[in-house]
Amino acid sequence: MTDEEYKRILKQFHKFSDRHILAVETDMPYSDVLKVVALSDKIRKAGNELVGLMRKNYNQLMRTKRYRKLLFLYGNSKDKDKRKTYANQLNEMQKAYNITWECCRTSMIPIGKKYGVDAVFALTKAKDIWRGIEKCLYGNGNTIHFSRYGELPCIRAKQMNRGIPISVTDNKLHFKLGRMVFGTQINDRFQQDEVDAVLSYLAESDILDDRAVNTLIKDGYCIDTYRPCYATLVPRMIRGKYRVYLHLTIEGKAKPKYDRFGSPRHKYGKGIIGADIGTQTVAYTSDTEVGLKNLSERGNSIQTSERKEHLLYRAMDRSRRATNPQNYNDDGTVKKGRKTWKYSNHYKELKTKHSELCRINAINRQLAINEDANHLRSL
């Protein structure tokens, strides 16, 4: 096998193999955490500027009668030759109005330099924005939206050797962002198993790649190599403080989880399950169990938390109305036009409590869905 064939097959293996994400918290000091948050906000501003540019071009394109007519003809035509002709005309109009990936990428270059964002991170943000444009052009999307102040986008570079490179020191994974070098906090056995698998790949990467290529050629399936693909930094606000999490994309299926006694946490059942998932409840039946339960309900405390969330929102609304009476009509509706809002310290405290409670409730809902799925899978 020549080197070119080996690289081609290895590239196919990377394309076909499964991937999963390991989420762990970083061990960087709080001063570095604030630097990561500042970089994330710069990426948000740069992305908003590119969104404004692409949104303007997209709106100008959609205002033309010719483009809307071509979309209508393309959707109603069943002749392949006509559809191909219409598609070519649509692509030409998109190029004329600078709605292409090349225009999106090149427009992001000066914007990234303006805000001091690394080229790799700017390119990743441009890809995310272009994905939204594609959804508007070819899917069911209507428009692309700006990121609000306070929303912190992730810092991602889809290249392992650029942006956030990975290294091994003292048998531990270390990552680098600019001049900051940081590691991860391992909290459970699953995370330790995943990190050990990544370390074993980095120690014998050539051997595992050869084994993966040979298995793909002979048996036609992909083995789990646990190759680290790229890293993503995700800043979050938790209980009034910023925390940064590392999402490491790993090649292969995730390691199985075990409890403290060494037994598998989630087991596969042997029977057939019938489930009827509604908007609020799910009904299921199997050979051993029949049940009807509410979706995303993890005990009785979730109802109390959601009620408290609703009460906090009402208190915020009362405070906002008391502080800004000039922005409301006599019947309680909000006046039209540009308005100036003032927020009291009491409102800011309520907003902080409400945001934290919303975060906790969202996590509980997700955990409840995961627990229900694991239970159904075990039947």
Q: Both 106 and 199 in a single domain?
A: no
Report the distance separating Cα 241 and Cα 281, nearest Å: 36
Q: Both 135 and 55 in a single domain?
A: yes
Q: Both 137 and 188 in a single domain?
A: no
Inform me whether the pLDDT recorded for 237 exceeds 80.
Answer: yes
45 contacts: CB under 8 Å, gap ≥ 6: 115
Reduced to 3 states (helix: H, G, I; strand: E, B; else coil), residue 79 is coil
What's CA 251's distance to the chain center, in Å?
Answer: 18
258-307 tens-digit pLDDT: 888 888 888 888 888 999 999 889 999 998 889 998 888 887 778 888 89
Report the distance separating Cα 25 and Cα 182, nearest Å: 10
Average pLDDT over residues 87-115: 94
Q: Both 169 and 241 in a single domain?
A: yes
Work out the mean pLDDT of the chain and round it to a whole number: 92
User: pLDDT confidence of 247, banded at 50, 70, 90?
Assistant: very high
Specify the pLDDT at position 264: 87
Q: Both 121 and 186 in a single domain?
A: no
Let me know if residue 15 belongs to a domain.
yes
User: pLDDT confidence of 226, banded at 50, 70, 90?
Assistant: very high
pTM (2 decimals)? 0.86
276 contacts: CB under 8 Å, gap ≥ 6: 282, 283, 284
Q: How many domains does the chain have?
A: 3
User: Of residues 150 and 25, which shows the higher confidence score?
Assistant: 25
137-150 tens-digit pLDDT: 998 888 999 999 98
58-91 tens-digit pLDDT: 999 999 999 999 999 998 888 889 999 999 999 9
The length of the chain in residues reads 379
244 class by beta-carbon count within 10 Å (0-12 exposed, 13-18 middle, 19+ buried): buried
Report the distance separating Cα 248 and Cα 158, nearest Å: 11
Average pLDDT over residues 26-51: 95
Could you say which of 251, 269, 287 is where a domain stops? 251
**For residue 164, what are the domain limits?**
3-27+157-251
Report the distance separating Cα 120 and Cα 22, nearest Å: 22
Let me know if residue 219 belongs to a domain.
yes
Q: For residue 130, which of 147, 148, 105, 113 has the smallest C-alpha distance? A: 105
pLDDT exceeding 70 applies to what percent of the chain?
A: 100
**b/e burial code for range 146-168 (CB count within 10 A of at least 16 → b):** eeeeeebbbbbbeebeebbebee
Average pLDDT over residues 33-60: 95
Let me know if residue 119 belongs to a domain.
yes
Let me know if residue 178 belongs to a domain.
yes
Q: Both 212 and 240 in a single domain?
A: yes
Specify the pLDDT at position 337: 92
309 contacts: CB under 8 Å, gap ≥ 6: 354, 357, 358, 361
Report the distance separating Cα 291 and Cα 293, nearest Å: 7
Let me know if residue 80 belongs to a domain.
yes
Q: For residue 115, which of 53, 167, 49 has the smallest C-alpha distance? A: 49
What's CA 69's distance to the chain center, in Å?
Answer: 35
Contact in structure between 233 and 154 (CB atoms under 8 Å): yes
Task: Write phi, then psi, for 253 (nearest 5 degrees).
Answer: -85, 155
Let me know if residue 257 belongs to a domain.
no
Q: Which DSSP string corresponds to 139-164?
A: SS-----PPPTT----EE-S-TTTTS
Inform me whether the pLDDT recorded for 219 exceeds 90.
Answer: no
Specify the pLDDT at position 297: 85
Average pLDDT over residues 245-249: 95
171-195 tens-digit pLDDT: 899 999 989 999 999 988 999 999 9
Report angle CA 339, 344, 348 to the nearest 5 degrees: 105
Q: Both 22 and 64 in a single domain?
A: no
